[in-house]
């Protein structure tokens, strides 16, 4: 039993979630009270951002922080535990949400708080922060569902026909994935008798290996569906382009990344022994996702659907880090997730601006935007380069780490036995960068270089094209531009990021300090 | 008793997957609910089955004297039932709205988010 009060400083672990939930509830109650809702939501997210930054600084300095609620000690009480990885991702998620809240103001329809938009955005951020910061697997399931119900609401909020259709596909497949996650939890509980993550790390090696392998396979299926990895990715391009661009940006930044985070946590930290059995499967999933996704983007003509495939390609990069589980490989995955949270959201924000300026959603009918809005073209091109991973942008560093891990694992440099899986992953990573570059620059050329509509009128200027208004510039272009500037700056000075990514990977591979922070006896 | 429960869970899973593979949204919804119930039963079975021994610690003691029913899976299932019910309700209303607006209950005719005239999703990707 815990008899003393939790130190005030430890509350920083749970405050991001509490602030979001309380803020969301208040906004729902006040939804008819007019124009101050947006400012209130922005204030709440700034407070969350401050908490996350404080938490990140503390974890960077002192190691994992844990807080247990109620009077029950772990493994019975539910702990919120933040290590470097979770704190970093929570910070990035709050940054993206803040940018999106400004961006939403651009649209008079989107600005309207009486639809519950701000409550749902805060609820989504609360769910995502909770999923990143929790130290208990069942609690993770609960935050997944919080996130899921908020995203259902956001996806269907204007109720257009295409949104209803998209929500059905998104809803069914994601709910099924969380049910698979719950089934895995049930079996895991039956095998090890605990659901506290730190406690699972201790007791997993003693459990029946065959049973644990099937649990790991179920986790792979559930989180793979959540993250949209190759064979189970069909729901993402079918749904992410349906809601307004701001909502798509929020989804692209937050939802699939929680899936990849959960994959990293379960496969690398919790069940490393079972992952080794599944290694060929994970490697195959990584390679196929890396190759198929950008090919889909090349074949696609709808702008935001094509971006959906680029998001899937990023998932392949993360999974390839799990397939190369050295310190460098996991660090690459961690940094890539951080990068993807920012870059993929920014891509959708810029895509939303392109759609507004051209009045089209199909790249074949856009055209001629370069003359009308040059800053937009620069932002989009920078983001394409960042997503493909060309230097000097942020996407380059995680890929460099992964390529390093791949060469090390393949045994080509040491002259020993050659690991063909690692060689294949290495080739797939390089090919993925190349194909993503082709897909992105092809879209860029269609949207910005070409004149007008396809076919016989392609030499005429686009009739729907209009110059951006002042509101669009200040509330749309500037937030997206700031996000891109942050991506470029972190690409130029990656020291802090690569250092924290490596430290986070070290914590994941050797979780003794994580166990100690929760207050359990580390394994001898 | 575990064997019987495990078999029941298997039957539930089989039936739910059969329903989920159908094209009608309502049948898929029923399949999803059945799937949730199968998972709940699975947790219940995995967390030790005991008959007629409520998890009550006798007065004055700190630990129970005999093997008791495990209360934790029941708490987990309770949470999962509540969440699953909320999700089911949302998806039911959504299916109804989609039926009203799109005039379709068959997923093959719901093709607004996919490119027009193309083959079905796995082929067109």
pLDDT tens across A68-86, in order?
877 777 777 888 999 899 9
Task: Give the pLDDT band of residue A1 (cuts 50, 70, 90).
Answer: low
CA proximity to B121, closest of A504, A235, A421: A235
Task: Give the pLDDT band of residue B118 (cuts 50, 70, 90).
Answer: low
For residues A252 and A269, what is the distance between their CA atoms, to the nearest angstrom? 25
Q: Is residue A451 part of a domain?
A: yes
Range in A213-227, A447-461, B69-83 with the lowest mean pLDDT: A447-461
pLDDT tens digits for range A322-362:
998 889 999 999 999 999 999 999 999 999 998 888 887 87
Paired residues of B1 in beta bridges: none
Q: Is residue A399 part of a domain?
A: yes
Q: Is residue B58 part of a domain?
A: no
Paired residues of B24 in beta bridges: B106
pLDDT tens digits for range A390-428:
888 888 999 999 999 988 888 777 767 888 888 999 999
Q: Is residue B60 part of a domain?
A: no
Q: Is residue B28 part of a domain?
A: yes
Q: Is residue B118 part of a domain?
A: no
Instruction: Kindly state the average pLDDT of the residues B61-69.
Output: 81
Q: Please list every residue in chain B whose beta carbon sits closer than 8 Å to the beta carbon of residue A292.
A: 125
**8 Å CB contact of B125 and A183:** no
Residue keyed to tokens 């300026």:
A357
Instruction: Kindly state the average pLDDT of the residues A269-289.
Output: 91
Q: Is residue B121 part of a domain?
A: no
Q: Is residue B120 part of a domain?
A: no
Give the Cα-Cα-Cα angle A520, A128, B42 (nearest 5 degrees). Answer: 65
Distance from CA of A308 to the nearest CA of B (A): 12
Q: Does A175 touch chain B (CB under 8 A)?
A: yes
Q: Is residue A197 part of a domain?
A: no
Decide if pLDDT at B78 tops 70. yes
Distance from CA of B69 to the nearest CA of A (A): 14
Residue of A nearest to B24 (CA): A168
For residues A238 and A70, what is the distance between their CA atoms, to the nearest angstrom? 42
Task: Give which of A168, A170, A184, A302 to mutate to test B binding, by max B Cβ within 10 Å.
Answer: A168
Which tokens is A373 given? Answer: 């809005």
pLDDT at B122: 45
Domain housing B95:
2-53+67-107
pLDDT at B104: 77
Q: Is residue A378 part of a domain?
A: yes
Task: Give the pLDDT band of residue B124 (cuts 50, 70, 90).
Answer: very low
Spatial neighbors of A30 by CB under 8 A, at least 6 apart, are: A37, A40
Using only C-alpha atoms, what is the Rg of chain B? 21
Calculate the average pLDDT of chain B: 85
The total number of structural domains in chain B stands at: 1
Task: Give the pLDDT band of residue A459 (cuts 50, 70, 90).
Answer: low
pLDDT at A120: 93
DSSP-assigned letters across all residues of B58-101 = PTT-SS-SS----HHHHHHHHHHHHHHHHHHHHHHHHHHHHHHH
Domain housing A401:
278-505
Say what the ipTM of the complex is: 0.91
Q: Does A189 touch chain B (CB under 8 A)?
A: yes
Residue B47: phi, psi to the nearest 5?
-95, 40
Decide if pLDDT at B109 tops 70. yes
Decide if pLDDT at A66 tops 80. yes
Q: Is residue A157 part of a domain?
A: no
Q: Please list every residue in chain B whose beta carbon sits closer than 8 Å to the beta carbon of residue A157.
A: none
Decide if pLDDT at B112 tops 90. no
Q: Is residue B115 part of a domain?
A: no
pTM greater than the 0.90 cutoff: yes
Q: Is residue A225 part of a domain?
A: no
CA proximity to B121, closest of A308, A431, A447: A308
Write the CATH number for B43: 1.10.287.3510
Selecting from B28, B42, B94 the residue whose C-beta is nearest the C-beta of A186 gives: B42
The total number of structural domains in chain A stands at: 1
């Amino acid at each position: 039993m815990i008899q003393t009060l939790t130190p005030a400083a430890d509350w920083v672990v749970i405050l991001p979630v509490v602030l979001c939930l309380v803020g969301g509830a208040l906004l729902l109650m006040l939804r008819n009270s007019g124009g101050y809702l947006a400012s209130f939501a922005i204030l709440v997210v700034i407070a969350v951002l401050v908490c996350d930054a404080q938490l990140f600084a503390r974890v960077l300095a002192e190691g994992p922080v844990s807080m247990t609620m109620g009077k029950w000690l772990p493994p019975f009480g539910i702990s919120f535990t933040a290590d470097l990885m979770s704190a970093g991702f929570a910070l990035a998620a709050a940054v993206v949400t803040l940018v999106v809240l400004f961006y939403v103001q651009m649209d008079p329809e989107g600005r309207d708080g009486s639809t519950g938009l701000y409550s749902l955005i805060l609820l989504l951020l609360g769910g995502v922060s909770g999923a990143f910061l929790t130290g208990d697997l069942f609690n993770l399931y609960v935050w997944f569902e919080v996130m899921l119900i908020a995203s259902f609401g956001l996806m269907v909020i204007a109720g257009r026909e295409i949104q209803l259709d998209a929500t059905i596909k998104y809803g069914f497949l994601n709910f099924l994935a969380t049910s698979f996650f719950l089934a895995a939890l049930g079996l895991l509980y039956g095998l090890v008798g605990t659901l506290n993550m730190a406690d699972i790390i201790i007791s997993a090696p003693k459990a029946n290996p065959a049973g644990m392998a099937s649990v790991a396979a179920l986790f792979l299926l559930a989180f793979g569906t959540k993250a949209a990895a190759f064979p189970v990715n069909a729901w993402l391009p079918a749904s992410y382009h349906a809601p307004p661009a701001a909502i798509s940006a929020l989804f692209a930044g937050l939802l699939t990344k929680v899936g990849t985070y959960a994959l990293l946590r379960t496969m690398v930290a919790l069940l490393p022994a079972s992952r080794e059995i599944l290694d060929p499967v994970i490697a195959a999933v990584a390679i196929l996702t890396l190759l198929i996704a950008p090919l889909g983007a090349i074949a696609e003509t709808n702008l935001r659907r094509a971006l959906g495939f680029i998001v899937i390609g990023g998932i392949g990069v993360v999974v390839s880090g799990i397939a190369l589980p050295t310190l460098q490989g996991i660090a690459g995955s961690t940094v890539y997730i951080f990068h993807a949270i920012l870059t993929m959201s920014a891509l959708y924000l810029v895509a939303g601006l392109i759609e507004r300026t051209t009045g089209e959603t199909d790249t074949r009918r856009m055209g001629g935007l370069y003359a009308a809005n040059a800053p937009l073209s620069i932002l989009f091109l920078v983001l394409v380069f960042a997503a493909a991973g060309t230097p000097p942008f942020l996407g380059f560093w995680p890929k460099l780490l992964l390529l390093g891990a791949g060469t090390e694992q393949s045994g080509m440099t040491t002259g020993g036995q050659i690991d063909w899986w690692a060689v294949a992953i290495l080739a797939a990573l390089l090919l993925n960068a190349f194909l993503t570059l082709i897909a992105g620059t092809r879209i860029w050329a269609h949207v910005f270089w070409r004149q007008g509509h396809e076919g016989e009128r392609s030499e005429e200027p686009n009739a729907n094209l209009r110059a951006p208004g002042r509101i669009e510039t200040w509330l749309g272009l500037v937030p997206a531009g700031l996000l891109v500037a942050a991506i470029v700056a972190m690409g130029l000075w990656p020291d802090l990021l690569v250092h924290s990514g490596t430290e986070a990977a070290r914590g994941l591979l050797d979780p003794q300090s994580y166990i100690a922070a929760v207050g359990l006896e580390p394994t001898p | 008793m575990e064997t019987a429960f495990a078999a029941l869970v298997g039957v539930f899973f089989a039936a739910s997957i059969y329903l989920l593979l159908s094209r009608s949204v309502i049948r898929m919804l029923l399949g999803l609910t059945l799937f949730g119930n199968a998972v709940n039963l699975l947790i219940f079975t995995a967390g030790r089955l005991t008959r007629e021994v409520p998890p009550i610690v006798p007065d004055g003691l700190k630990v129970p004297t005999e093997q008791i029913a495990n209360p934790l899976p029941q708490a987990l299932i309770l949470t999962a039932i509540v969440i699953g019910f909320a999700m089911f309700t949302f998806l039911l209303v959504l299916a109804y709205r989609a039926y009203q607006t799109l005039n379709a209950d068959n997923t093959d005719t719901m093709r607004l988010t996919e490119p027009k005239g193309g083959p079905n999703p796995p082929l067109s990707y």
